[in-house]
Amino acid sequence: MSKGFVNIIILIIIAVIVLGYFKIDLRSIWNSEPVQNNLGFLWESARIIWHNYLSEPANFVWGIFYNYIWLSFIENMQRIKMGEKPAILDNTSLPTFQVESQ
């Protein structure tokens, strides 16, 4: 995995060198008003999309992950640290299901 990351870094460096060879100034492009306006537009659009559409579902998923997975993980790690069995191996904490016979 790190080999692929190093290759990407090397390609970026080579691309910057090639752009410099053709006398393309990245700083002047980055600081130009149209580029800054476009980046500002993209940032504002991302904020609107996050606040209007994505924040509520993301918070819902985060709540499920945090309450049911993360807190359980922390509890079980503390139990293991104290020399106890994880909750899933403790018969008192297993969920029970009752099947009604007809």
Mean pLDDT of 9-25: 93
In a domain? residue 98 = no
For residues 46 and 19, state if they share a domain: no
pLDDT at 89: 74
pLDDT tens digit sequence for 38-68? 999 999 999 999 999 999 999 999 999 999 8
- In a shared domain, residues 42 and 19: no
Residue 57 domain boundaries: 32-89
Confidence of residue 98 (pLDDT cuts 50, 70, 90): low
Q: Write down the pTM of the prediction.
A: 0.55
62 three-class SS: helix
- On whether both 27 and 40 belong to a single domain, the answer is no
Domain count, the chain: 2
3 and 52 in one domain? no
CA 34 vs. chain centroid, Å, equals: 30
Query: Is 51 inside any structural domain?
Result: yes
Residues 12 and 60 both lie in one domain: no
